[in-house]
Amino acid sequence: MGVRRVLLYQATPEAETSPLQPLRALCRYLLDLRIECEVFEASGAGSDVAGSFEDRLDRARPDVLLAFGAQGATAVDLGLARRRGIPTALVLRDSTLRRASELIGFDAVIVHSQFLADYYANSQGIRCAVLPEPIEPGDPLQAKGVQAPYITFIDPTPDNGVFALVRIADELGRRRPDIPFLVVEGRGTEADLVACGVDLKAHSNVHLMIRPAEQAAIWSVTRIALVPASTWDSPGTVAAAAKAFGIPVVASERGALEEVVGDAGLVLPLPRWLTSATRILPTAEDVVPWVEALIGLWDDAEQHSHYRAVARASVPSRVGERYARFLGGLRSGTGVPRAEVSRRCRWAVLVPYLHAIEYDCEVGLRKLEERGVHVVRCRGSSAVTD
């Protein structure tokens, strides 16, 4: 039986979870297939205060409940869906889920990369479906108000590689002040750039933009997307969006980025000591490969056109059909399927941490998981350190 109605459960306001607005994109894909689609906002601005979730279920009568956001859906709401025989699925965009017990009440988990699917299979013993992130492809050349193109970096936070960004921008400002550089603010702002210890205002080619409501406003002025993510589990979301708009990407090798970028750009290493937990600028020597790659891609029109064509050609096709087919095969009450493991786990390692796990440590932990050791990562704080 095919899916005719889908209820999208938004646990966190979409503007806080992704600049790419995947719920809106998925709705459009499903509506193109004549599948009814509604969004229930469980919290934040615009939440459904007047009507309860139970009322929404009875009114919408969905065939499937699909939850977005790190918080998933509440146990009470999942129970309401299950009592009505409605299958439930959760979309995980990163590695923040630490305990498989948080998935009780769901019948499936969707991730957007094989990297994350492997991670959850090894760390939590669950089998995830890999489906593309819903992103509406577009052509920046057709956007209105096109200005001179930039090398663009989105959201200057430690996870996204703000320290690498600052050093790269500083070196480009010295060597090639003719190349304009754009930093789009998000969770990270101009204050985070200043905190890195280098005054980028000294270079007239570095510009700031407040994150716009429409991502086309970013990609319409972007020639190259710079993604030097320093976190070990980068989901590659920005790289995927850039590709959807035909923008070549220069990215780090962290997380899913190598998988996401593919042949649509360049993947370069960062110093192993540079992680989302470190607060030290890389040296000019550390970023030489990055600066050279950006200059080369900027100057070489043939190479840029090649990567642009590859990016557009690699955008996932028939996204709506793939989601509809997967959701149509779900059955209520089955629970999230378990991943096949080659041997029984005989050892477990508990890794408590405050903000992030160092890159070298994480590499070692993943090697343990490959050997059958169950690794539990617990993030938290105390009254002293909070």
Q: What integer pLDDT is reported at residue 195 of this predicted model?
A: 93
Banded model confidence at residue 45, pLDDT cuts 50, 70, 90? very low
What's residue 148's pLDDT? 57
Predicted confidence (pLDDT) per residue in 150-159, tens digit = 999 999 999 9
Flag whether the pTM goes above 0.85.
no
Q: Which of 24-38, 265-279, 350-364 has the lowest mean pLDDT?
A: 350-364
Joined together, the tokens standing for residue 77 give: 């709401």
Domain spanning 5-136+318-328, CATH architecture: 3-Layer(aba) Sandwich (3.40)
Could you report the per-residue pLDDT of 89-106, keeping only the tens digit for each?
A: 999 988 888 778 888 889
Q: Report, at the CATH architecture level, how domain 140-313 is classified.
A: 3-Layer(aba) Sandwich (3.40)
Evaluated on CA atoms 296, 163, 218, 320, the torsion sign reads positive
pLDDT at site 71: 63
Q: How far, CA to CA in Å, does 290 sit from each of 233, 251, 300?
A: 20, 9, 15
Confidence of residue 252 (pLDDT cuts 50, 70, 90): very high
Which of 62-76, 140-154, 202-216 is most confident?
202-216
Contact status, residue 257 vs residue 319, Cβ threshold 8 Å: no
Q: Give the residue among 260, 244, 251, 225 at the shortest CA–CA distance from 112.
A: 260
Domain boundaries defined on the chain: 5-136+318-328, 140-313, 348-379
Can you give the length of the chain in residues? 386
Asked if pLDDT for residue 138 goes beyond 50, the answer is yes
**Nearest Cα to Cα of residue 127 among 116, 142, 138:** 116
| Phi, psi (degrees; rounded to nearest 5) at 54 | -65, -40
Contact 224, 248 (CB under 8 A): yes
Nearest to 236 by CA among 160, 151, 124: 160
CA distances from 312 to 221, 327, 386 (A): 17, 27, 45
- Whole-number Å distance between alpha carbons of 248 and 63: 39
- Comparing 5-136+318-328 with 140-313, is the CATH topology the same? yes
Which of 112, 23, 28 lies closest to 316, judged by CA?
A: 112
